[in-house]
Structure 1
Amino acid sequence: MQQVTIKNDFLSLKVLNYGARIQELLFRDKDGAWQNTVVGFSKPEQYLEDPISLGACVGRFAGRISGGGFTLDGEFYPVYSEDGVHLHGGQEGFANKYWEVKEVHQGDDPFVKLNYISPHQEEGYPGELEVTLTYQLQGATLRIIHEAFTDQHTIVNLTNHSYFRLDSSTEISHYKLQLGSEQFLDTHPNLLPTGGLNNVQGTDFDFRKPKNIGNTLMDTPFALHSSFVAEAYSPISGIRMRVKSNQPAVVVYTPPAFAGICFETQNFPDAPNIASFPSSALKPGDKYRNESEFAFDLVT
């Protein structure tokens, strides 16, 4: 397993080639102390036993697919499911693959570039998919760029599965959260979308204006209407994080067992099976691109 560190005057990032995972992302708090803003293990080998995709790239399709598979060009492609749900690309997914470290650049705007080639029919998906993932530091901003090409008509939906933690507290109820969304996806009890959208107004998910997270638990897909995704702020550390993306949705996840919050910028869950959702199809010659930014500053 390889570990790569890139840093500038504001951020320090550790990346593992196993799952293209973010192991550590350091930013100074209001007292000048380094705060690791992601949940992670101290030893790389601990990730081999991680069941929750800590800091990983998830794919080939992030999120959930219903019905045991999907139909493309009239052909049904079965994928691994548990209780009728295919999650995060299957039994292994991209989170448990060894990626190739293609390039590391230190100095101005440092970056690390990783590559993974997913063979035709891996986890049931058609086509060989070549994925390039770039982590770049620009000032106090982490840019995450997923790019993919295919040699056959396929589906793709990639995201980063970091659990952000803006202070050392054992809870996140005091975080102030704002979301750039007026609608969230209506879901069945197993979290598969029904195909409908609900307005956030009058619900616990109305974060159009900043407010404390409180006791609100989320494993919730939100529809996005602009590049602004979210803003989270901890009054304990003074750290604020702003998220932007070119994706049509974000799944906000607050794990019940530990302090952290995921902003999984991606396409709509189960998009391959719901015609009204944005297409997740990728054809040969076209490029898939998910570009998301996580910008840090201090509020004092």
Structure 2
Amino acid sequence: MEKEQALQLFYKHAIRRDAPAVRLRALSEEIVKRTGGLPLALEVIGSFLHGKSEYTWKATLQKLKIVPNNEVEFKLRISYDALEHEQQQMFLDIACLFSWKDKKTVAHMWEDQYKFSPEADIEVLQLLSLIKIGEDNMLRMHDQLRDLGRGIVRQENPKDPGKQSRLWGDEAVDVLLNNQMMAMKLKVLDLSYCKELARTPDLSPFCNLERLNLRDCERLQVIDPSIGKLKHLASLNMTDCHFVKELPKQLDSKEMSLELVIDGTSIKKLPTLDGLMKLETLSANNCACLTQVSSSISHLVCVWIES
């Protein structure tokens, strides 16, 4: 990014106007130089410095001076290190587990965990440009910030992921499958965005699983038949699993009402659903291959089908 453009981006987040006070102008130019003109670093560090004292600006510059120009994550970590403990935990939760998750749902979880409303802390993360919240109320995080958070968690125990505070993706499945007690207690399994997952693992160890999220597993083709053993399954999300062409015949949900989301899949037809009388919600938007829908869906509470 050109120097003047970089300065304007930094000013936008650090001082929220076109130019700083004279005493901060030289500092601004030096900070921009030390970020290498990287837009994300300018936004995050600028947001962190907004409203801070000149002393904090100078201290931040000193930290940037000892970080090599190509070490973007170290520069971004300056803002992470300045967070309060609970805010750091929320940042790591989003980086590892909750990016592209509904803010309201995640906030309820945090409220249960921390015993106070997380709204103020969510706002801090947003003001520091560490997260964004879209019009759809989804929590979003830049890939480099996500990688920063996941790197911090991996450093907790690089040799034994099972002892890390958070697990995600294929690594989470491997750990859980090797720990039967942990698998039996699990109620939510989020495998979203697992780019290499072509077939779900044997799901039978997760006998109390209530929610299975396979969103955007771009190579997924097969749902293991063991899903039929998940008698407590209440939600199955396969959004944008483009290579999934059929629902598993073993899918049954007689114990609980089921929410089924197959948006953006290549599923060609829905089953008769006679064996899925507890199916309550069906979403099948952007299913270009879907040509056959059974009349038995008339009992559903909510249906969204749009090609």
TM-score range, shorter chain: under 0.3
Higher helix fraction: Structure 1 or Structure 2? 2
- Structure-2-length-normalised TM-score: 0.22
| Structure with more contact order per residue of length (Cα contacts < 8 Å, sep ≥ 6) | 1
Higher strand fraction: Structure 1 or Structure 2? 1
**Bigger Rg over Cα:** 2
- Structure-1-length-normalised TM-score: 0.23
